[in-house]
Amino acid sequence: MRVLITRPEREATTLASALIERGHTPVVAPLFRLEILQPPPGFAEALAACQTVLLTSANGARALAEASEQRGKPIIAVGDTTASTAEGLGFSAVVSATGDGAALAALVRRGLEPAKGPLVHVSGKDVALDLAQELAADGFEVKRFALYDAREETALPDSARAALAAHALDAATFFSSRAAATFAKLVRDAGLAGGLRDVTAIAISPAVLAPLAALPFKAAVAAARPTRQAVLDEIDRLAEAGVKGALTMSDTSTPAPDSPTPTPVAPPPAIRRGLGLFGAFVTAVVAAVLVLAGALISLPFWPEEFRAMWRGQAAAPAPTPAIDLQAVRADASVVANAAAEAVRRELTLKLDDLEKRVRAASAAAAERPAAAPDPAIAELRGKITALESRPVAPATAPSAPPTASPAPAIDAEKDLAALRLEIATLRSALQTLDQAMAGQRDETARQREQAKVLAETVDKARSEASAVGAGEKRALGAARASAVIGVAARLSSALESGLPFAAELSLLAPFGQGDAKLAEITAALQPYATSGVASRTALTAGFPAVAKAALADDLADDSFGERLLGKIKGLVSLRRVGADVPGDAVEAKLARAEAALAAGDLARAVDIVKSLPPQTAQATAAWLGRAEAHLAAKRAVDQLSAYAVTLLGAAR
């Protein structure tokens, strides 16, 4: 599952590591920026006088470690995560209430006595439960000190914005009511509430779900217990059940009795795009049927051999192969056109032959009387003329029968009449065929137009799909770049605090696959991840002792007086300071190096210390090693930040 983490950076890093180990993909989007505050006056005295320290968050444990070097005070932590953080920072007597603020107050009532001294509550500026008021009725005196402030982001982080816009999330986690309310406000301001319709909200308790009620989450789930482990278990249960299915609180978890019932969200309306696969199939089938119908209509006008071929194919059909509609339509059109052209050529040849025969017969009939006059025909014509010139005879007078039969002329006229009838019949058939071919051409043109429209529709759908794919790719790239920026910020914070950063560095592993630049930066930081590097503040604080030892080594030589002066210099710091000390003596260089450290220029200070005479090397070697390790790690983190910004720009 792709899980959105809204916790502050340090807690988000730990939670992201746990999700990666369980096979999930975290999307880190901190909604708060942690700022450690200076302890107020009276904190040290209150801490020394208290019997127990109460911690209600892991950030409280970190702030306490920054504010005091005491590690032996008994501590009661609100949950296992806070207790583990305190133990990791060196506190030796830590007890976990394994719950929320109410569970912590109950543990205090059971295990402590008001008479043994006051309690100190280390917290942020904003608290969900005022322990001083909660425990006042039991006689406990609780002094609350706000040693850190979790400041809200003014806009939704880029990683969350990109993931919501791309609908790339399956779940979102919330560990406080303040985080839930801040998330709801920022999502509404960004206009991305629609991206939550496929997202399940997972809260550490039912009370945290209340600010999220107005958002269109797919489902809202409260953990069975108010612990981080319970939230992780809830994510695993959702993954097993399938977050893409229909999830409800009743079938995904066992919520507390007062857990709110999730409100079902109406499914988005279906969107119809283009003809679709079924529409294209139906169009192709209709076109094939029309082509076949045209071929059947023109079948009577086909030559005998083509009709015989058609009947032979119908009598012995071949096994039907897999149908390619476009190929069938193209083949049928080609066959029909070829057959029509063959019939047309044959009829044209017959018509030409008949016309030649008619012309030959006419010429022969015209030439026959002149070449060989038939006496019978001449006699018959004379008699006909005589009869026409005679007056009309009475009806009773019988007509004289002809003496001869004009057989040759009658036969010629019959042949001509038969030829003319055949020519007329052939012309009529040719005209019918022309009409059928014209209809076939119109049908072919219509089919081509439909194919063109279908092709344009397919091209449009492909271009839309390409645009959607490119948008999703850009969104995922932006989310990846934002996550790398977050990791770089946490690494920078670890360098400044001098803490190990193996957990932070492990977050780069999913992004470094196939990215040579990220792999190179990770390899550069790996030697320092387990132990960390000295912070710039620690290097600055330890430099005066190094400078004193280096100055003493420079003054010492073989003479008794110089050795004595060197020992005195080693005991009492007698050297000038400031960036304006003139000369190239060891004392002047040490003064300039110290001034560079005070100005925050560690690299210049390292260069100056390296230029000291060889006799000072023993005194400065350890400090130089720690300073160069810090600079090397800092350079790698700066490269990571610049590369992440480049990735973000490319994604946009």
Q: What is the mean pLDDT of the chain?
A: 76
Report CA 596 to chain centroid distance, whole Å. Answer: 47
Q: The whole model's pTM is what?
A: 0.37
Q: Taking 50 as the threshold, does the pLDDT of residue 252 lie above it?
A: no
User: DSSP letters of 256-274?
Assistant: -TTPPPPPPPPPPPP---S
Q: What is the pLDDT of residue 312?
A: 58
Among 590, 588, 591, 587, CA closest to 578: 591
* Structural tokens at position 439: 């209809």
For residue 632, the model assigns a pLDDT of 92
Q: How confident is the model at residue 599 (pLDDT cuts 50, 70, 90)?
A: confident
For 372-388, write each residue's pLDDT tens digit.
455 555 555 565 566 55
Q: Judge whether 2-29+154-252 and 32-152 match in fold.
A: yes
The pLDDT, as a whole number, for residue 118 is 93
E strands present in 37-140: 52-55, 75-77, 94-96, 119-124
Distance CA 584, CA 78 (A): 58
For residue 466, pLDDT beyond 60: yes
Q: What is the pLDDT of residue 315?
A: 41
Average pLDDT of span 406-417: 63
Per-residue confidence (pLDDT) for residue 76, from 0 to 100: 94
Residue 210 has pLDDT above 80, yes or no: yes
| pLDDT for 394 beyond 90 | no
Supply 215's token pair: 């958002």
**Of 18-27, 149-158, 167-176, 510-519, which range is least confident?**
510-519
Neighbours of 161 (CB within 10 A): 21
Residue 2 scores a pLDDT above 80: yes
Q: What phi, psi does 608 have (nearest 5°)? A: -65, -45
Within 10 A of 76 (CB to CB), how many other CB atoms are there? 25
Q: What is the pLDDT of residue 339?
A: 60
Average pLDDT over every residue of 359-376: 54
pLDDT of residue 120: 94
Question: What's the Cα-to-Cα distance from 6 to each of 132, 173, 179, 570, rounded to whole Å?
Answer: 28, 7, 7, 53
pLDDT at 498: 84
Q: Report d(CA 279, CA 251) in Å as an integer.
A: 40
Q: Where along the chain do its domains lie?
A: 2-29+154-252, 32-152, 279-310+324-386+406-466, 529-651
Topology, domain 2-29+154-252: Rossmann fold (3.40.50)
User: What pLDDT, on the 0 to 100 scale, is given for residue 564?
Assistant: 57
Rounded Cα gap, residues 54 and 76, in angstroms:
5
The tens digit of pLDDT for each residue in 424-464 reads 666 666 666 677 677 777 777 777 777 777 677 767 777 77
Query: pLDDT at residue 612 above 70?
Result: yes
Higher pLDDT, 576 or 226: 226
Q: Does domain 32-152 have CATH number 3.40.50.10090?
A: yes
Is the model's pLDDT at 152 over the cut of 50? yes
Instruction: Give dist(CA 484, CA 492) in Å, integer.
Output: 12
Whole-angstrom distance, CA of residue 632 vs CA of residue 638: 10
Give the model's confidence band at 552: pLDDT under 50 very low, under 70 low, under 90 confident, else very high.
confident
Whether residue 81 contacts residue 98, with contact meaning beta carbons closer than 8 Å, is answered with no
- Is 530's pLDDT higher than 60? yes
- Of the candidate ranges 189-198, 228-237, 266-275, 475-484, the one whose mean pLDDT is the lowest: 266-275
User: Which 8-state DSSP code applies to residue 211?
Assistant: G
Residue-wise pLDDT tens digits, 57-113: 888 888 898 888 888 889 999 888 888 888 888 898 899 988 888 889 999 998 899
Residue 265 has a pLDDT of 40
Query: What pLDDT score does 255 carry?
Result: 42
Assess whether pLDDT exceeds 70 at residue 240. yes
Identify the top-confidence range among 146-160, 279-293, 400-414: 146-160
Max mean pLDDT range (160-164, 297-301, 462-466, 470-474): 160-164
Confidence (pLDDT) at 519:
86
pLDDT value of position 377: 54
- Residue 381: per-residue pLDDT: 58
Phi-psi region of 302 (alpha: psi -120 to 50; beta: other; left: phi over 0): beta
Choose between 273 and 380: higher pLDDT: 380
User: Do the bridges between strand 2-5 and strand 25-28 make them parallel or antiparallel, or are there none, so unpaired?
Assistant: parallel
Helix (H) or strand (E) holding 132: helix 131-136
pLDDT band at 221 (very low <50, low <70, confident <90, very high): very high
Res 360 pLDDT > 70: no
- % of the chain at pLDDT higher than 90: 13
Average pLDDT over residues 230-237: 91
For residues 12-33, average pLDDT:
87
Q: What is the pLDDT of residue 450?
A: 72
Q: What is the pLDDT of residue 407?
A: 57
Q: What is the pLDDT of residue 559?
A: 52
